[in-house]
Amino acid sequence: MFKIDEGFVRDLLRTSEAAIEGGERRILVTGGAGFIGSHTARRLLSRGDFVVIVDNLNDYYDPDFKKRNLIELAKDFPERLRVYVGDICDRELVHRIFAEERPT
């Protein structure tokens, strides 16, 4: 059973509220390498948000297509994009992403 650290969640929410008030948004997009996810990420990046993508690059459809999407996003928005290759079912990875990236 996954146990949520209440202190971590409380700190995360406080950080998120302050960032939103300050106009800075860090948005987590899962599946961000695929068609819908990459277009969503591009739109968010275009409006000035910082985007964190998590994608496992599975072979549901061509992984090379997904990699090209990520390369294009990174080329166009290098300063506001972070990409993690991994599965959102990986608790340690997700915890690390939330701790390091602090999505709002």
Q: What is the pTM of this model?
A: 0.78
d(CA 21, CA 4) in angstroms, rounded, equals 26
Does residue 18 lie in a domain region? no
The per-residue pLDDT for range 26-37, each reduced to its tens digit, is: 999 999 999 999
The per-residue pLDDT for range 41-84, each reduced to its tens digit, is: 999 999 999 999 999 999 988 999 999 999 999 999 999 999 99
Q: Are 27 and 103 in contact (CB under 8 A)?
A: yes
Q: What is the CATH number of the domain that holds 33?
A: 3.40.50.720
Does residue 3 lie in a domain region? no
pLDDT(6) > 90: no
Does residue 36 lie in a domain region? yes
Structural domains of the chain, count: 1
Does residue 67 lie in a domain region? yes
CA angle 44–6–103, rounded 5-degree value: 10
Does residue 83 lie in a domain region? yes
Q: Which two tokens stand for residue 55?
A: 């994608």
Does residue 6 lie in a domain region? no
